[in-house]
Amino acid sequence: NFIVNLLILLPARIADIDAQFAAVKEANPQFADKTVLLLEGTLFRDSVQVQGPDWRHEFLTQIGLTVMAPDQD
C-alpha cells in the first residue's frame, strides 16, 4: 500500500516543487542575466569538478539562471 500511495502522490508533489521553482524565477527577474556553474565544491590541482549530470542542476535553469557548460569559457 505504501508504494501505491507513493506512486499516486509523487507526481503531484513533483508538480508542486516545479511550481515553487517557477515562482522563484518570477520573483527574481534579475536571474535572467546571470550565468552559473554548479561545482562539486573542492579544488583539485588548480581545477574544479562539475557537479553531476544535467538533472542535478536543472533547478538552476528552472529559477531563471543560465547554467554554464563545463567546457564553456
pLDDT at 73 over 60: no
SS (H, E, C) the chain: CHHHHHHHHHHHHHHHHHHHHHHHHHHCHHHHHCEECCEEEEEECCEEEECCCHHHCHHHHHCCCEECCCCCC
pLDDT digits 0-9 by tens, 49-58: 666 777 778 8
Banded pLDDT at 72 (limits 50, 70, 90):
low
CA–CA gap between residue 57 and residue 35 (Å, rounded): 13
Average pLDDT, integer, range 35-58 = 74
Does the predicted TM-score (pTM) go above 0.75? no
The confidence score (pLDDT) of residue 6 equals 84
Residue 23 has φ and ψ, to the nearest 5°, of -65, -35
State the amino acid at position 48 in one-letter form.
Answer: V
